[in-house]
């Protein structure tokens, strides 16, 4: 038996766009389709632009996509909106046929591509569980055996006999994911739909997906949540404009993918031309970066390692006591912490004109996983007058690979909280007095 669960070979999917007007009936649409070539030819003869929608009515959502996924492998699919990720999942789920190439999936597929996929709005939650199970090829007895587990996970027990058309989007999601994950699929395909749920439910879903992977099932996971991709998937594939542009270990792929959006702000940025540098009346920002203990610039930080936030700035006018100030926020725009340079060698002293390099060192085993943003301020020491401010001057990612002999032990995997410190604990013990 082959160990390949999914094989995609030169897959392509083409869509026709702008072909018909929404308010046309079939007769009008056919009439417009017949007239369109003559109308475009007449415009061209008169030197008139015909418009992109008339000249090009097709788009390739996927082009020449090829890859293989082994049984039991968890793979993350990442890319910008409109890159072709959802189209790929629809082809693999047999919702749409490819235009060219082939996609082969071995075994039963459980997919959750949008809220309520495969649910009939007039049926109750109970009826939809059995309907989805039947679609997946499950026997009624097998569905009945897992029914209580599905309902308990979804947390919609009170509404299980209510038609799902009355469910909120969150309730829809809970039940739909629970069905997809519990009805014993060989391949579980999950789209970004998990973003609809609250944070606690997202963690619950990720843990359930991990359990599915641990028993040898294959998982394909599309998400814009990079920490979830690096934590749950060992491998990641990047799709851009319908093409695969990167494939490899998830931590490395995510780091390169984040750099695609502007490598000058991921890990570090230098303003080589002072005329373009952020400036105030007394100070100018020259560079900012994340660095390791050996001085290299980092885009991705190991959760166990200390790292520095380094800023090089210039005093352009004498006479003020100033200090750098960093504000760290996470993806939810929550402020994680603020730190100010309290170096006694400079605290309260006026700065001379020239360049200064200041570094704040963040200890290992403090930050949580995630993507973080650094805002840089230059403040006056005495009156806290703001001399300079650069919002989200750079970003960096903290990852926990959980590979090998983890120094975090049982403290690994997903853990709630803005920070994740490993604190020193002491425990006293008194033996029970004998009677």
- The per-residue pLDDT for range 16-42, each reduced to its tens digit, is 775 444 455 556 656 666 666 666 666
d(CA 74, CA 235): 7
Closest CA to 422 of 434, 435, 406: 406
Q: Are residues 291 and 380 in the same domain?
A: yes
Q: Are residues 236 and 277 in the same domain?
A: no
Three-class secondary structure assignment of 67-97: EEEECCCEEEEECCCCCCHHHHHHHHCCCCC
Q: Which of the listed residues 233, 260, 287 is the one where a domain comes to its end?
A: 260
Query: Is 320:380 a contact under the CB 8 Å cutoff?
Result: yes
404: Cβ–Cβ under 8 A, 6 or more apart, which residues? Answer: none
Q: Are residues 256 and 361 in the same domain?
A: no
Q: How confident is the model at residue 52 (pLDDT cuts 50, 70, 90)?
A: very low
- Report if residue 414 sits inside a domain: no
Three-class secondary structure assignment of 412-426: CCCCCCCECCCCCCC
Q: Are residues 243 and 383 in the same domain?
A: no
d(CA 77, CA 253): 10
d(CA 339, CA 360): 8
pLDDT tens column, 353-369: 999 999 999 999 999 88
Mean pLDDT of the chain: 81
- Report if residue 91 sits inside a domain: yes
Q: Are residues 47 and 72 in the same domain?
A: no
Task: Write down the pLDDT at residue 207.
Answer: 77
Is the pLDDT at 413 greater than 90? The verdict is no
Is the pLDDT at 410 greater than 80? The verdict is no
pLDDT tens column, 101-159: 999 999 888 777 765 566 888 999 999 999 888 877 778 898 999 999 999 988 899 99
Q: Which of the listed residues 243, 260, 277 is the one where a domain comes to its end?
A: 260
Task: Write down the pLDDT at residue 197.
Answer: 58
Q: Are residues 292 and 221 in the same domain?
A: no
Query: Is 329:372 a contact under the CB 8 Å cutoff?
Result: yes
Q: Are residues 184 and 70 in the same domain?
A: yes
Query: Is 396:330 a contact under the CB 8 Å cutoff?
Result: no
- Report if residue 410 sits inside a domain: no
Q: Are residues 194 and 75 in the same domain?
A: yes
Closest CA to 202 of 228, 181, 176, 182: 228
Looking up residue 100, the CATH number of its domain turns out to be 3.40.50.300
Q: E strands within 223-321?
A: 235-240, 243-249, 268-270, 283-291, 300-302, 307-315
Task: Write down the pLDDT at residue 19.
Answer: 47
- Report if residue 276 sits inside a domain: yes
Query: Is 212:84 a contact under the CB 8 Å cutoff?
Result: no
- Report if residue 233 sits inside a domain: yes
Residue 25's domain comprises 18-56
Q: Which of the listed residues 234, 260, 286 is the one where a domain comes to its end?
A: 260
Q: What's the residue count for the chain? A: 435
Instruction: Tell me whether residue 325 is exposed, middle or buried, using C-beta atoms within 10 angstroms of its C-beta: 0 to 12, 13 to 18, 19 or more.
Output: buried
Q: Say how many domains are in the chain.
A: 3
Highest mean pLDDT among 198-202, 251-255, 296-300, 404-408: 296-300
Task: Write down the pLDDT at residue 259.
Answer: 64
- Report if residue 428 sits inside a domain: no
φ, ψ for residue 183 (rounded to 5)? -90, 40
Closest CA to 179 of 141, 222, 217, 126: 126
Is the pLDDT at 262 greater than 70? The verdict is no
Task: Write down the pLDDT at residue 359.
Answer: 95
384: Cβ–Cβ under 8 A, 6 or more apart, which residues? Answer: none
* Mean pLDDT value across residues 73-83: 89
Beta bridge partners of 235: 75, 249
DSSP conformational letter for 133: H
- Report if residue 409 sits inside a domain: no
Looking up residue 390, the CATH number of its domain turns out to be 2.70.50.60
Q: Are residues 8 and 145 in the same domain?
A: yes
Q: Are residues 36 and 70 in the same domain?
A: no
Q: Are residues 121 and 147 in the same domain?
A: yes
CA geometry: angle 295, 297, 299, nearest 5 deg: 145
- Report if residue 178 sits inside a domain: yes
**Is 434 or 207 the better-scoring residue by pLDDT?**
207
Q: How confident is the model at residue 169 (pLDDT cuts 50, 70, 90)?
A: confident
Q: What is the pTM of this model?
A: 0.62
H helices of 160-246, where?
A: 169-182, 199-214, 226-232
pLDDT tens column, 308-340: 999 999 999 887 888 899 999 887 778 999 999
Q: From edge to edge, which strands make up the β-sheet containing 58-70?
A: 58-70, 4-16, 100-105
Q: Are residues 95 and 239 in the same domain?
A: yes
142: Cβ–Cβ under 8 A, 6 or more apart, which residues? Answer: 133, 183, 184
């Amino acid at each position: 038996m082959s160990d390949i669960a999914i094989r995609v070979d030169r897959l392509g999917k083409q869509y026709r766009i702008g072909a018909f007007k929404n308010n046309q009936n079939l007769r009008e649409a056919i009439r417009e389709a017949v007239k369109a070539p003559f109308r475009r030819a007449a415009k061209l003869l008169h030197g008139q632009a015909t418009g992109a929608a008339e000249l090009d009515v097709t788009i390739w959502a996927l082009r020449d996509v090829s890859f293989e996924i082994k049984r039991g492998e968890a793979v993350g699919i990442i890319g910008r909106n409109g890159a072709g990720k959802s189209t790929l999942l629809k082809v693999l789920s047999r919702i749409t046929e490819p235009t060219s190439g082939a996609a082969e999936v071995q075994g039963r597929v459980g997919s959750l591509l949008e809220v309520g996929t495969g649910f009939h709005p007039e049926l109750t939650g109970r009826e939809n569980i059995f309907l989805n199970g039947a679609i997946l090829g499950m026997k009624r007895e097998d569905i009945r055996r897992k029914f209580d587990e599905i309902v308990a996970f979804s947390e919609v027990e009170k509404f299980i006999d209510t038609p799902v058309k009355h469910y909120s989007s969150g309730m829809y999601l809970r039940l739909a994911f629970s069905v997809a994950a519990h009805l014993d699929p060989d391949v579980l395909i999950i789209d970004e739909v998990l973003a609809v749920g609250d944070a606690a439910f997202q963690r619950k879903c990720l843990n359930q997906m991990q359990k599915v992977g641990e028993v040898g099932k294959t998982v394909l996971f599309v998400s814009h949540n990079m920490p979830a991709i690096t934590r749950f998937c060992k491998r990641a594939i990047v799709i851009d404009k319908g093409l695969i542009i990167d494939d490899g270990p998830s931590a490395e792929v995510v780091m390169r993918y984040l750099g695609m959006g502007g490598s000058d702000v991921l890990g570090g940025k230098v303003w080589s031309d002072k005329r373009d540098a952020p400036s105030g009346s007394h100070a100018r920002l020259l560079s900012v970066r994340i660095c390791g203990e050996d001085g290299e610039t980092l885009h991705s930080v190991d959760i166990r390692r200390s790292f520095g936030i380094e800023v090089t700035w210039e005093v352009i006018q004498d006479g003020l006591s100033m200090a750098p100030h960093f504000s760290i926020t996470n993806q939810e725009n929550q402020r994680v912490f603020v730190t100010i340079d309290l170096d006694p060698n400079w605290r309260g002293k006026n700065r001379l004109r020239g360049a200064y390099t200041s570094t704040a060192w963040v200890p290992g085993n403090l930050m949580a996983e995630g993507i973080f943003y650094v805002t840089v301020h230059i403040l006056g020491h005495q009156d806290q007058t703001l001399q300079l401010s650069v919002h989200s001057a750079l970003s960096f990612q903290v990852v926990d690979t959980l590979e090998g002999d983890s120094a975090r032990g049982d403290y690994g995997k997903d853990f709630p909280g803005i920070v994740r410190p490993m604190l020193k604990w002491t425990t006293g013990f008194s033996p029970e007095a004998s009677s």
